[in-house]
């Protein structure tokens, strides 16, 4: 399991959320976002759209599985 704090460094659109889901579903590892007492599956577009992530938001990302390190790097790169 890999856990890291990530910061949103850009304005996000619905298209960006779709891209994030695409990134996470290509991998076998699970990916979760913890933000303001919410535990969101990053492979769920509805889950991601249900929270308000804006530029400057900080949250915890947890990845778990065979390719967890690769997936974490891709998620962090997405938010930069």
Residue 54, domain CATH: 3.30.1340.10
Contacts of residue 23, defined as CB under 8 A and 6 or more positions apart, other chains included, come to 71, 74, 75, 78
Phi and psi angles of residue 79, each rounded to the nearest 5 degrees, phi first: -80, -5
| Domain coverage including residue 66 | 2-79
- The domain total for the chain is 1
For 18, the token pair is: 């779709």
pTM for the whole structure:
0.92
> Over its length of 80 residues, how does the chain's per-residue pLDDT go in tens digits?
999 999 999 999 999 999 999 999 999 999 999 998 899 999 999 999 888 888 999 999 999 999 999 999 999 999 98
């Amino acid at each position: 399991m890999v856990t890291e704090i990530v910061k949103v460094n850009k304005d996000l659109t619905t298209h960006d959320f779709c891209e994030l889901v695409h990134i996470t579903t290509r991998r076998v590892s699970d990916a979760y976002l913890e933000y303001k007492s919410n535990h969101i599956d990053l492979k769920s577009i509805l889950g991601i759209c249900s929270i308000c992530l804006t530029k400057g938001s900080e949250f915890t990302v947890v990845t778990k599985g065979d390719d967890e390190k690769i997936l974490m790097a891709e998620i962090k790169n997405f938010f930069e």
